[in-house]
Homo-oligomer: A and B are copies of this chain.
Amino acid sequence: MTEPGYIFSEDFSVRDYECDIQGIVNNANYQHYLEHARHEFLISRGVSFARLHEEGTDLIVTRVEIDYKYPLRSGDKFVVSLHIRRQGNVRLVFVQDIFRKPDRKHIVHAEVTGIVTKKGKPVSPVHVAEKLGLEQEINRNRLK
């Protein structure tokens, strides 16, 4: 279920192979969770990352900022929630949070900046945003 303020949420369980010697989820795996949640969000809006790529359109991550607040462990369940805003003319920012379930412990806060490219050239994200039904959303939250 999607929390207020977020436009999409995806549930996960920690898989043991994602945990490292310290018994906690390895840092890079949170990026996998964040990415999978973004791609499932696209699918929920009828857009497939793989099909976009076949059509020559790619969503490229240009920057990630991840704050690791508390580690996930073997057996934990969690939710990845997201919303999105536009930054300047070409960038989209996915704001993503990971919460442990059921206690809502805040695990990760991340901001993932991306651009849309067509045959390798950056293009306006408006066309993709329309496909996602997000045109109003990304303009309302636009940062210059």
The chain A residues found within 8 Å of chain B, CB to CB, are 13, 15-17, 19-23, 26-29, 31-32, 35-36, 39-40, 43, 48-50, 53, 58, 60-68, 73-75
Contacts and interface: CB of A to CB of B under 8 A. Distances in A.
Contact of A19 (B32, B50, B60, B74): B50
Q: Which of A21, A27, A39, A40 has the most CB of B within 10 A?
A: A21
Given A63-B67, A64-B65, A64-B66, A17 B23 contact: no
Contacts of A63: 65-68
26 contacts: A15-B32, A15-B35, A15-B39, A16-B21, A16-B36, A16-B49, A16-B50, A17-B26, A17-B28, A17-B35, A17-B36, A19-B50, A20-B20, A21-B21, A21-B23, A22-B58, A28-B31, A28-B32, A48-B74, A48-B75, A50-B75, A61-B68, A62-B67, A63-B68, A64-B68, A65-B65
